[in-house]
Structure 1
Amino acid sequence: MSQSRARAARRQSPPPRRRAPRIVRAAGPADLLRHIPDLLPAEPEDSLVLVLFAGGPGTVSRTVGAMRVDLLHTEDPAPLRAWSASLLGRALLVEGVTGVAAAAYTPDAFAPSGRPPAAAQLRAVCRQAERMGLEVQGRFVVAADGWGSLDDPELPRGGHPLALLEPDGPRPARRRGVVARPARAPEDEHERFLAQYVDWWQRPEGPGGVLHGVTLGERSAPRPAACPAAPSDPPGPEAEPSAMDRYRYGGDLDRLVELIEGVLAPHEDTDRPCACRALLLALVERQGLIPMLLGQVGWGPAFGRELWTAFAAPAGRERTGERLRAALGGSRFRRPDRDRVDAAVAALQEVAAHIDLPRHGAAVDEALAWLHWACGASSTAGALAERALRQHADRDLAPMLLDRVRRGVLPDWAYREDPSRPDPFDALLTPPRTGGPVRGGSRS
């Protein structure tokens, strides 16, 4: 596929689907706290959560998201001020935010005197929010033995019962925020998965054929329509390639894009392990291939065709490389499709149940780390990146992610709906352009 065709496909591809907003009306503090876990990728524990609100004077405020950080365990004013300033500085980057509510989740209990735990941290954060011009809409603590508001003059000693914060119904299963490894697959599935993994490097449409030109013969057996990665018959004696076939680029890149889309398609339990899971491992294991895979997962088949085309044909590679760095680095690039990211997380968790080698575990954890970071789950991303590097220290993407997590850097799309569009405030911060140097001396 030529670069011109890839650009045309990118221009014609529809924008990623946006999830319909879930409308929740909070009638009071208990209602708000009951819904905070639904705004986060994982249950908040030993954390401080900022619920971000948008709304002008005389309008009803609505939530635009939530931010979670580890709770700072000190009451020393100096580190509390620095911590609060850093946290609120990130909150101000969110497009349209006008107010916040702060909630501390702590394993500590209320003091015998009735003083709520984490009160110093809440006061420091809310004072900083007011200094920055944000309206503080609540200061809450959820402790081991009760919950309450620092602004409630009638807060009972020991707080309100935690039962008041229980959801009305079962919460939806969380598809992110899982760091523990899944249970190991049954032995027969495990062996079948490893055989499929080896098979992918022998198939013409696999990474070996499409990307490295190592073609081991064509296969004519039909594949079920449910998943394009369904295994086919083994190669026959005529499969031995010529030297020209072995070392040429010329595989069907559209076929590879189709296979990756099959990874993200819904699968029945009876399909496990589908051969596309083995292909997923083959791609994330290779340092040079995981960026293209993540790019297609996040931004769709049109962007995937552009990336794989640039990989196989050097023409136009520099421009595509810049776009890929902007996408994976979380800079001025449009937001990835969350449904596709969720599907990839589920597929990688299934892969993790079928592998034993540390290098395979590191590759899967590295991919999971980026997918979590792209969704704003920074703490989970950091834990996964650390685990990847413990298993295999030579991974390339994990150190970059870990550095961003430790510096508190999230993708630009965590703060703005579409970072690829110019921010109107940038014009205010950019010095005006002049017509050139003044001739004939300085002007006073």
Structure 2
Amino acid sequence: MPHNSQRPLPTRSRGDSSPTGHIPESTPDLVRRRSSARRRWHSSGMHPTIVKAQKAQDFLALVPQLLGFAPETSAVLVAFRGNRTCGALRFNLPDDGAPHKVYKRIATTLAGMLCKIPGVDAVVPVIYTGDSFNDAVGIPREQFAEILNRRLEWSGFLLRDSLCVAADAWGSYLDSECPAGGHPLSDIAASPVNMAANEETGTKLVRPLGTLQNGADPIGVNLATQERLARIYRRYRHLLARAENSPPLFSAFGVALDPIAIAEEALTWPNPPTEENAAALLVLVQSPPNRDQIMVQFAFGRDEGVRAHDINGRYARLQHETGRSLDDLVAEEISIGDPTAAHTGDIMLGLQCERPDIDRIRVAITLLRTVVAMAPRSARPAPLCMLAWLSWALGSGSVAGFFVDQALAIDSQYSMAILLELLLDSGHLPEWAFAVPRDDDGDDDGAVEESDGYELDEDLDQDWGEDFDERAAGR
């Protein structure tokens, strides 16, 4: 990430008492609803399915579908505009028995993050814990839940409910008649919305969801494939080194190592890609300028890739002419207010509201996970960092952290991994993750029927049932 190293990372002071003034205890994940106009390429033109959650167990059945994974040891805030969900924030659950001031600080951070999502007027926090109702006095993690609920209400949000899913049961922190042993988890598993959530797939089977960690698990690739790719990769590395990272056409091998062309073609490759294609992409991303350009192009399209490539070419020429480092050149241009340098840095740090193309990112993540599995170990940090940034661009900071950890385990001095670790540790999420899509600006009732999506595999709209409204009104 060389063109960003001089841009300050967004940070939060632990001493700041404002709602967004604390470093989160864990990397947050933001999940946003997605527009039907921007759905995956194979399903454009379909209308979103509206799923009504009439009971708490129905809503709990929908939360993993909204997140795209089954949460574990997590605090999830499901945000609402009117009666429709518009997003969710997931944080690691703080340790049980932590000091009151720690709970208060974390709750303030969560409420502050929720405040960044425009138009949110209500929320349902859900605590996922491995603790047991049988071992708890009351509902598990009740102390933290009470502090969180109070902070959310002080921040102006209607608390529609506050739920707990434990190892052996579930319950509501707002239900004074919740059984001592909680309600059976089978209520959630048997909810009819599990079927409704899968209507678009044309199957009556409930879609299985992995855990958060599964999103970063390696993909299995046989040894023969890895060895073939390694041979081709070494050949390309040798040729590219001789050409000093320029994109010449190697006609003898029938491969044009043009980073702009390959970035676009890669999104159309079959999965898994051929060893030749995977090696071409892998050797290109070993160059930091090519890596960042391809990564940004995956997210924002060819025009942004061309822009980044042209900038990189200009910096390369300046380096050759002046003998100065890339960081020095970028820092100088930023200090004098050069808009081109600032634009690239703003994209990499998520400091702009223009949204990336969610479909392209999803395809790129699938591709890069396979390429990482095929690649020699020493060549993996670059695509792992690309995976981390693309995951972060979708609002999934925790998955991004897993990829960064894998990159640092291979090369503890890999500069982009170090920068990404700083970015993730700051708790910063991209500004585009909080922006309201233009499609939503004209909603009459404030309900979100179409909004851009982060980490959501199905187009679902969750209507909050009347019984929940009555419960909230009766408190």
Q: TM-score normalized by structure 1?
A: 0.74
Whole-angstrom CA distance in 2 between matches of 1:309 and 1:115: 61
Name structure 2 gaps, 5 residues minimum.
1-34, 40-46, 196-204, 319-332, 439-475
Match of 2:302 in 1: 301
Candidates 348, 354, 358, aligned match of 1:328: 348
Match of 1:190 in 2: 226
Cα 1:389–1:40 shift into 2, 3 Å: same
1:214 deviation in Å?
7.2
Match of 1:65 in 2: 87
Whole-angstrom CA distance in 1 between matches of 2:281 and 2:218: 17
Match of 2:245 in 1: 212
Whether 1:340 and 2:360 are equivalent positions in the alignment is yes
1:22 deviation in Å?
4.9
Match of 1:39 in 2: 66
1:82 deviation in Å?
1.2
1:202 deviation in Å?
6.7
Contact map agreement 1:80 1:121 (CA 8 A) in 2: yes
1:21 deviation in Å?
4.9
Whole-angstrom CA distance in 1 between matches of 2:113 and 2:216: 25
Candidates 151, 154, 161, aligned match of 2:184: 161
Cα 1:381–1:37 shift into 2, 3 Å: same
1:76 deviation in Å?
3.3
Determine helix, strand or coil for the equivalent of 1:353. helix
Whether 1:413 and 2:435 are equivalent positions in the alignment is no
Aligned pairs (5 A) from 1:293-442: 293-313=294-314, 319-357=339-377, 359-417=378-436
Determine helix, strand or coil for the equivalent of 2:395. coil
1:144 deviation in Å?
0.4
1:145 deviation in Å?
0.3
Whole-angstrom CA distance in 1 between matches of 2:246 and 2:135: 72
Match of 1:126 in 2: 149
Match of 1:30 in 2: 57
Contact map agreement 1:52 1:64 (CA 8 A) in 2: yes
Whole-angstrom CA distance in 1 between matches of 2:37 and 2:297: 15
Cα 1:152–1:24 shift into 2, 3 Å: same
**One-letter amino acid matched to 1:375:** L
Determine helix, strand or coil for the equivalent of 2:52. coil
Candidates 259, 262, 265, aligned match of 1:262: 265
Whether 1:290 and 2:313 are equivalent positions in the alignment is no
Cα 1:404–1:310 shift into 2, 3 Å: closer
Cα 1:136–1:216 shift into 2, 3 Å: closer
Match of 2:216 in 1: 179
**One-letter amino acid matched to 1:129:** L
Match of 2:28 in 1: none
Cα 1:23–1:266 shift into 2, 3 Å: farther
Whole-angstrom CA distance in 1 between matches of 2:260 and 2:208: 31
Could you report, residue by residue, the CA deviation over 1:407-436 in whole angstroms, capped at 9, with x for unpaired residues? 2111111211369xxxxxxxxxxxxxxxxx
Match of 2:3 in 1: none
Larger mean CA deviation between 86-95 and 408-417 belongs to: 408-417
Contact map agreement 2:142 2:173 (CA 8 A) in 1: yes
Determine helix, strand or coil for the equivalent of 1:289. helix
1:266 deviation in Å?
4.7
Larger mean CA deviation between 101-110 and 18-27 belongs to: 18-27
Contact map agreement 2:71 2:212 (CA 8 A) in 1: no
Cα 1:303–1:16 shift into 2, 3 Å: farther
Contact map agreement 2:74 2:128 (CA 8 A) in 1: yes
1:54 deviation in Å?
0.9
Contact map agreement 1:16 1:337 (CA 8 A) in 2: no
Match of 1:237 in 2: none
Whole-angstrom CA distance in 1 between matches of 2:37 and 2:212: 19
Larger mean CA deviation between 78-87 and 99-108 belongs to: 78-87
Whole-angstrom CA distance in 2 between matches of 1:412 and 1:46: 26
Could you report, residue by residue, the CA deviation over 1:94-123 in whole angstroms, capped at 9, with x for unpaired residues? 111111101000000004576110111111
1:199 deviation in Å?
4.2
Contact map agreement 1:372 1:380 (CA 8 A) in 2: yes
Q: TM-score normalized by structure 2?
A: 0.69
Cα 1:135–1:400 shift into 2, 3 Å: same
Cα 1:36–1:107 shift into 2, 3 Å: same
Match of 1:83 in 2: 106
Contact map agreement 2:69 2:209 (CA 8 A) in 1: no
Match of 1:279 in 2: 280
Determine helix, strand or coil for the equivalent of 1:138. coil
How many residues align? The count is 363
Could you report, residue by residue, the CA deviation over 1:313-357 in whole angstroms, capped at 9, with x for unpaired residues? 459995433222111101014121111111111111111222233
Match of 2:450 in 1: none
Whole-angstrom CA distance in 2 between matches of 1:262 and 1:360: 21
Identity fraction in percent: 28
CA root-mean-square deviation: 3.0
Whole-angstrom CA distance in 1 between matches of 2:36 and 2:313: 26
Name structure 1 gaps, 5 residues minimum.
1-14, 56-60, 220-230, 234-251, 420-444
